[in-house]
């Protein structure tokens, strides 16, 4: 679904090259590659590296978006969010994949400590304190614990600390990596602010795991019965704690500010 059609891509750049009256060798010289490389692109054998897309588009008179879609776009035509996500995935196929690396011992210990505190709090609340949360409170409790653990596994143990170069060369407000999809309207994510955003997400995961159970317990005791205010306050804290620090980090460090 998200793969680049090599044949369509090759036919598109071959047609554009002929329109401009260039030979494969002439195009190759302008891009500092071999004419064999250009031949392989046009015959669908291989694809160019992502770093070559901007100069390739410039030489052929099209945009990177048009190259990836293998077609010319009408003036004023815009992409829907789903199309933008697909375009990003296509571009990622051409980018060298940054290694995840092994998680540091510090991050592993920090995550295990947070999980241990969460489990201990749950045992104390439902054991000695005999807390039996009503349905909506129980849903909040287990939702917070599950999401805190899932985000914690990713951001403490599996996150890519370096993004492909494509993010530094284009204004993208989304991250797609396996199950993870983060869309942040109005900000550009790149390698200057991504490390700070990672710390913000780790902080949120740690806070949800260590403070989530006691926070839900406090809300349950402070609001009677099936109070709608309990759910409102919970989601305000839960979502605000996730996105506000991440947005702050993305904006503050977007230009490499330390």
Distance (Å, whole) CA 93 – CA 116: 39
178: left (phi over 0), alpha (psi -120 to 50) or beta: left
Is pLDDT larger for residue 89 or for residue 5? 5
> 114: helix, coil or strand?
helix
- Taking a C-beta distance cutoff of 8 angstroms, is the pair 60, 72 a contact? no
How confident is the model at residue 1, as a pLDDT? Answer: 40
d(C-alpha 46, C-alpha 101), whole Å: 28
Residue 169 has pLDDT above 50, yes or no: yes
- Structural domains in the chain, CATH included, are 6-93 (1.10.260.40), 105-252 (no CATH)
Give the model's pLDDT for residue 230: 79
pLDDT of 26 > 90? The answer is yes
Among 170, 187, 185, CA closest to 90: 170
pLDDT computed for residue 93 by the predictor: 58
State the pLDDT confidence band at 258, using cuts at 50, 70 and 90.
very low
Decide the pairing of beta strands 180-183 and 174-177: antiparallel
Distance of alpha carbon 104 from the chain centroid: 21
3-state DSSP helix/strand/coil percent for the chain, to nearest 5?
65, 5, 35
Confidence of residue 154 (pLDDT cuts 50, 70, 90): very high
SS3 state of residue 104: coil
Instruction: Give the pLDDT of residue 101.
Output: 63
Q: What is the pLDDT of residues 198-222, one digit of tens each?
A: 999 999 999 999 999 999 988 888 8
**Residues 27-69: tens digit of each pLDDT:** 988 888 888 889 999 998 888 877 788 888 889 998 887 887 8
What does the pLDDT average to over 133-152?
A: 88
Cα separations in angstroms, 159 against 68, 120, 210, 228, 246: 27, 27, 21, 36, 15
CB 174 within 8 A of CB 86: no
Average model confidence (pLDDT) for the chain?
A: 83
């Amino acid at each position: 679904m998200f793969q680049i059609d090599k044949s369509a891509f090759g036919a598109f750049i071959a047609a554009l090259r002929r329109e401009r009256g260039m030979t494969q060798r002439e195009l190759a010289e302008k891009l500092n590659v071999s004419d064999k490389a250009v031949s392989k692109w046009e015959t669908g054998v291989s694809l160019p590296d992502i770093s070559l897309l901007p100069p390739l588009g410039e030489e052929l008179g099209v945009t990177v978006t048009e190259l990836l879609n293998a077609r010319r776009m009408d003036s004023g035509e815009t992409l829907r969010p789903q199309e933008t996500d697909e375009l990003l995935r296509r571009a990622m196929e051409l980018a060298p994949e940054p290694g995840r690396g092994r998680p540091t011992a510090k991050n592993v210990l920090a995550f295990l400590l947070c999980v241990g505190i969460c489990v201990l709090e749950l045992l104390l609340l439902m054991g000695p304190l005999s807390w039996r949360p009503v349905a909506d409170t129980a849903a909040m409790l287990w939702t917070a614990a599950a999401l805190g653990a899932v985000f914690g596994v990713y951001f403490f143990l599996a996150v890519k600390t370096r993004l492909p170069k494509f993010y530094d060369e284009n204004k993208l407000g989304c991250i797609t990596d396996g199950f993870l999809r983060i869309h942040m309207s109005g900000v550009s994510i790149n390698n200057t602010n991504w490390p700070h955003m990672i710390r913000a997400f780790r902080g949120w995961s740690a806070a949800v795991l260590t403070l989530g159970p006691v926070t839900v317990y406090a809300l349950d005791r402070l609001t009677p019965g099936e109070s709608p205010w309990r759910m409102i306050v919970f989601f305000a804290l839960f979502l605000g704690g996730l996105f506000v620090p991440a947005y702050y980090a993305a904006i503050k460090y977007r230009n490499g500010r330390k």
